[in-house]
């Protein structure tokens, strides 16, 4: 998983070719932390199908808002720099995996 910041978001996500999955999370978000091991496992299992990234919104609030991420946890999918899908709040890792396979 690539750790995103405001410094590398544009390069790693918006200028990337192909599918990119971004896990928006916060250290204060308990559901985010509970989901994180499953997200990392999903990334390892599906290596090569997409680029997998995570963004801690704690120090990147403006960036998250600019991406219209208003609730956590959020998993967003980008293709060739454009956001094409998003899962917000009440979802299971199975939903993320299904969406990944649908888009890949």
pLDDT in tens, the chain (104 residues): 999 999 999 999 999 999 999 999 999 999 999 999 999 999 999 999 999 999 999 999 999 999 999 999 999 999 999 999 999 999 999 999 999 999 99
Question: DSSP letters of the chain?
Answer: -EEE-TTTHIIIIIT--SEEEEEEE-TT-HHHHHHHHHHHHHHHHTBTTBEEEEEEGGG-HHHHHHTT--SSSEEEEEETTEEEEEEESS--HHHHHHHHHHH-
Decide if domain 2-103 falls under CATH 3.30.70.3040.
no
The pLDDT, as a whole number, for residue 69 is: 97
Instruction: Considering the candidates 32, 39, 42, 96, report the single residue annotated as catalytic.
Output: 32
Is 53 a known active-site residue? no
This model's pTM is above 0.95: yes
The pLDDT, as a whole number, for residue 97 is: 97
Instruction: Considering the candidates 19, 29, 39, 42, report the single residue annotated as catalytic.
Output: 29
């Amino acid at each position: 998983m690539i750790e995103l910041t405001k410094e590398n978001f544009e390069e790693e996500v918006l200028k990337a070719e192909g599918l990119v999955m971004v896990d928006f999370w916060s250290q204060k978000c308990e559901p985010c932390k509970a989901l994180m091991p499953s997200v990392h496992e999903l990334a390892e299992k599906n290596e090569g199908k997409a680029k997998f990234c995570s963004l801690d919104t704690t120090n990147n609030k403006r960036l998250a808002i600019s991406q219209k991420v208003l609730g956590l946890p959020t998993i967003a999918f980008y293709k060739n720099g454009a956001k094409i899908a998003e899962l917000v709040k009440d979802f299971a890792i199975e939903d993320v995996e299904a969406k990944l396979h649908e888009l890949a």
